[in-house]
Amino acid sequence: MTGPRFNPAETTRLDIQRPDTALIKAAGKLPSATLHEAAGKIGALPAAIQPVAPGFKVCGPAVTVHSPGGDNLWLHRAIYAAQPGDVLVVSVSEAYEHGYWGEIMSTASKVRGLAGLVINGCVRDQRLLSEIGFPVFARGLCIRGTGKDFGARGWINAPIRLDDVTVNAGDLIVGDEDGVVCIPREQVATAIAASEAREAAEAQQLKRLEAGESTLSIFGWDQ
Flag whether 2 is in a domain: no
Range of the structural domain that residue 123 is part of: 8-218
Alpha carbon 146 to its chain centroid, in Å, reads 21
Q: Is the pLDDT of residue 1 over 60?
A: no
Flag whether 113 is in a domain: yes
Flag whether 146 is in a domain: yes
Q: Is the pLDDT of residue 44 over 90?
A: yes
CATH of the domain at 214: 3.50.30.40
Can you tell me the mean pLDDT for 149-163?
A: 97
User: According to the model, what pLDDT value does residue 3 have?
Assistant: 76
For the chain, the C-alpha Rg in angstroms (whole number) is 19
User: According to the model, what pLDDT value does residue 113 have?
Assistant: 98
Q: Is 124 annotated as a binding residue?
A: yes
Which of 184, 179, 213, 199 has the alpha carbon at shortest distance from 45?
179
pLDDT in tens, 189-222: 999 999 999 999 999 999 999 999 999 999 999 8
Flag whether 26 is in a domain: yes
At residue 198, what is the residue type? R
pLDDT in tens, 48-95: 999 999 999 999 999 999 999 999 999 999 999 999 999 999 999 999
Q: Is 16 annotated as a binding residue?
A: no
Q: Is the pLDDT of residue 2 over 80?
A: no
Phi/psi of residue 51, each to 5°?
A: -60, 140
Flag whether 52 is in a domain: yes
Q: Is 222 annotated as a binding residue?
A: no
Q: Is 161 annotated as a binding residue?
A: no
Can you tell me the mean pLDDT for 125-129?
A: 97
Q: Is 177 annotated as a binding residue?
A: no
Q: What is the pTM of this model?
A: 0.95
Q: How many distinct structural domains can be found in the chain?
A: 1
Q: Is 151 annotated as a binding residue?
A: no
Looking at the chain, the whole-number percentage of residues with pLDDT higher than 70 is: 99
Alpha-carbon separation of residue 194 from 24, 82, 165, 171, 186 (angstroms): 15, 29, 21, 17, 14
Flag whether 223 is in a domain: no
